[in-house]
Amino acid sequence: MRTYLVTGGAGFIGSNYIHYMFRKYDNEIRIINVDALTYAGNLENLKDVEERENYTFVKANICDKEAIEKIFTENDIDRVVHFAAESHVDRSIRNPEIFVQTNVLGTAVMLNCAKAAWENPDGSFKEGKKFLHVSTDEVYGSLENEGEYFYETTPYAPHSPYSASKASSDMLVKSYMDTYHFPANITNCSNNYGPYQFPEKLIPLIINNALHGKNLPVYGDGKNVRDWLYVEDHAKAIDMVQENGRLFETYNIGGHNEKQNIQIIEIIIDTLQEMLAEDDPRRTLVSRDLITYVEDRKGHDRRYAIAPDKIKAEIGWEPETMFAEGIKKTIAWYFEHEDWMKNVTSGDYQKYYNEMYK
Ligand code: NAD
């Protein structure tokens, strides 16, 4: 039975990936999820897998070398899928250091521990071992012109402390591949959306605020463009890269779904109005009048757009979920998980929110 070590599995994409993997492989695999449970980590996301005999949760920080070494010593890990990171650009602008610690130093610890566990005395690596580093399209910087795309060969030009820390971690992974022939892949994906996303990020923020009749903050002129991918499609892509990708390669993952932030907000409002029952009291709250333009994010990148041509040509992966369908599924999930939203928006979230949008 193959053993996966997933880092950051209690977060948004990590938990969706774990669900995807158990749905696909059921009892054929074992997953160990290591997560520090920061504000973004939530074991509620994994309630329906926690009883599985082939699932183990370890609360640890990826910067804690001893804790990570122990996992590798006590288990024969075949695959690492490394999600754990500080992931929110706005937080990185306010507090960059933790991004360097977790995203750069934490990745160094993960690489070192995997290398130590997998290396043969002659410097080669044990058969079948693979490390996948999950990264972002933000490392490529900002596109100014229509028709331009990020390719795997696009030079890195990160602007925010978040993207700079992710770019650094990517470089570190590349250096391990180049120096030691360490068996790894890097994936750079566009913005994800779907169930279990923490409401500091645009889509769940807008859904939650709209349902409560609260302002819908939009940065600057609202015309910054992002490419959006349904999270389950990302989970599938990660699995396909590890199964069928060429080792040492980078693969860009994207949704072919570029939208301005303001368009995303308008689609959410329209979809909410369509999905809420006639007599649902929240229906009267949801309105375009809630849209509130706020001061632009510092250094706000204008446009990101991924060309997922390589992953399609080499591995046969393509985005499957159209945005209109994905956003309905996402909204339906938030309708069904009001308690989840209540829990994550109590306490510290309120403090963060009030500071951000005062
Ligand atoms: P998230 O913030 O929802 O989850 C991050 C998880 O990592 C949380 O469970 C948190 O507790 C854990 N974590 C944070 N610091 C840790 C530490 N020091 N030790 C152990 N665990 C720690 O993030 P996400 O949106 O699920 O993103 C996951 C990964 O995917 C990140 O590496 C991110 O850069 C990348 N990514 C995200 C997106 C996106 O749109 N969300 C797009 C492309 C790539």
Give the pLDDT of residue 347.
80
Testing ligand 1's pocket by substitution, the residue of 5, 6, 7, 12 carrying the most ligand atoms inside 8 A of its CB is 12
71-80, 112-121, 181-190, 281-290, range with the lowest pLDDT: 281-290
Give the pLDDT of residue 349.
84
Binned at pLDDT 50, 70 and 90, residue 352 comes out as confident
As a whole number of angstroms, the distance between CA 127 and CA 272 comes to: 50
Could you please state the CATH topology (level 3) that the domain comprising 2-193+230-256+300-321 is classified under.
Rossmann fold (3.40.50)
Token pair in block for residue 212: 């409560």
Annotated catalytic, 138? Answer: yes
Distance 10 CA to ligand 1 centre (A): 9
Largest CA distance in the chain: 70
Give the pLDDT of residue 357.
79
Say which residues have a Cβ less than 8 Å from residue 180's Cβ, sequence separation at least 6.
115, 119, 123
Helix, strand, coil % in the chain, rounded to nearest 5: 45, 20, 35
Distance 169 CA to ligand 1 centre (A): 13
As a whole number of angstroms, the distance between CA 58 and CA 112 comes to: 19
Q: Does residue 11 have its Cβ closer than 6 Å to ligand 1?
A: yes
Is the per-residue pLDDT at 135 higher than 80?
yes
Tens-place pLDDT, residues 210-258: 999 999 999 999 999 999 999 999 999 999 999 999 999 999 999 999 9
Say which residues have a Cβ less than 8 Å from residue 116's Cβ, sequence separation at least 6.
69, 72
Distance 282 CA to ligand 1 centre (A): 31
The yes/no answer to whether this complex scores an ipTM above 0.90 is yes
CB–CB of 83/33 below 8 Å? Answer: no
Give the pLDDT of residue 353.
82
Is the per-residue pLDDT at 339 higher than 80?
yes
Q: Does residue 12 have its Cβ closer than 6 Å to ligand 1?
A: yes
Q: Does residue 113 have its Cβ closer than 6 Å to ligand 1?
A: no
Q: Tokens 């250096």 — which residue?
A: 175
Residues in the chain: 358
Annotated catalytic, 352? Answer: no
Beta bridge partner(s), residue 250: 186
Mean pLDDT over residues 328-341, rounded?
A: 96
Chain mean pLDDT for the chain:
96
Q: Does residue 268 have its Cβ closer than 6 Å to ligand 1?
A: no
102-111, 191-200, 293-302, range with the lowest pLDDT: 293-302
Binned at pLDDT 50, 70 and 90, residue 144 comes out as confident
Where are the domains positioned within the chain? 2-193+230-256+300-321
